[in-house]
Amino acid sequence: MVKCLECGFESIRLQWTHFKFNCTGRFQNGREYKKFYPGAKVVDDELAKSTAITLENLIKKYGLSEGANRWDIYKQKQAHSNSFEYKKEKHGWTKDQFDEFNLSRSQTLEKMIQRYGEAVGIEKWTTYCERQAYTNTKDYFIEKYGYSIGYEKYLEINKNKSVSNPIILAAKMGITKDEATDIIISRQKNYFTSNLEQEFVNLLEETIGKLDHTSQSNPFGKWSPDLLSYVVYDIKHGNNIIEFNGDYWHANPKIYKEDSIIRGKKAVDIWYKDMLKLKTATDLGFQTLVVWESEFKTNKEEIIKEVAQWILNERK
């Protein structure tokens, strides 16, 4: 139960009708109430937990397959409602207002360092990222649901994410690994990109026009003989390859040392793998460029200008 701090009424949920018709009349809804009473609850904890839109609750309500499908649909709707286009159309926001909103709610390395200091901030940020990554692993599902059910849920939820092996596909179809890679990549609707990377892409396209390939639009990749796997590049335009690297996921050398451990790997090993990925592109004759998320956030306008100029110069 939650108690209204204004009038003392108790219920499992304090709805807008309570504030408008049954309370003191000072508030029209829960938003106004919580603004006056910061931290006040309007929903019982257990009720909030049981009715929240989560993968677990959707699976309980609709079954494994349908629950996972509804969860994907929900995430897509959330992604749209969090986009600049949606906020601009619905609320009339400017780009600056949208950026300020995202910065205020995002969990970032900079915020961690600002709040806790450099050493503790990096440690907490690393823990946060590892925890986020862990929730997509088989071990997480087994730990949460038990081996039998957890393993089944893991397989069911991830079956549509599975990617064929180019070596096997090439042998089966009698084609090259590059051709097999193209087929595999064409099957994928899109690849994960951060909000910051998407903003980078949008601003770059506003400057030079539609890009040939991005992770979210017509992904581009190649077979890497050095890595013995295929790789997908963030941006390919003309003869240019651009990688937009997250500071944590790619162990920005300005932040991490060689022996820093990121998701169970040494930073130096992450750098080596990224180097081989770029080498794959340069060996094929592409020009390559790496943009770090921190340098983009520091001066977005200048970085976009420099990258646009680099592309235009390379195309001459």
Distances (CA, A) of 256 to 137, 250, 260, 266, 270: 25, 10, 6, 10, 11
Check: CB of residue 149 under 8 Å from CB of residue 64: no
Name the average pLDDT for the chain: 84
Q: In the predicted model, is pLDDT for residue 101 greater than 70?
A: no
Mean pLDDT over residues 298-311, rounded?
A: 94
Please state, in angstroms and rounded to a whole number, the distance separating the CA atoms of residues 267 and 249.
Answer: 10
pLDDT at 162: 47
Q: In the predicted model, is pLDDT for residue 302 greater than 50?
A: yes
Q: What residues does each domain of the chain span?
A: 1-52, 163-315
Residue 99 in tokens: 């950026």
pLDDT at 144: 77
Q: In the predicted model, is pLDDT for residue 267 greater than 70?
A: yes
Three-point CA angle 252, 256, 258, nearest 5°: 105
Residue 219 in tokens: 């992904």
The region of weakest confidence among 22-31, 174-183, 261-270 is 174-183
Structure confidence at residue 72 as a pLDDT band (50, 70, 90): confident
pLDDT at 157: 61
Nearest partner of 194 among 271, 82, 96, 272, judged by Cα: 82
pLDDT at 158: 59
Structure confidence at residue 161 as a pLDDT band (50, 70, 90): very low
Q: In the predicted model, is pLDDT for residue 130 greater than 80?
A: no
Structure confidence at residue 255 as a pLDDT band (50, 70, 90): very high
Q: Which residues contact 63 (CB under 8 A, 6 or more apart)?
A: none
163-315, CATH topology level: Endonuclease; Chain A (3.40.960)
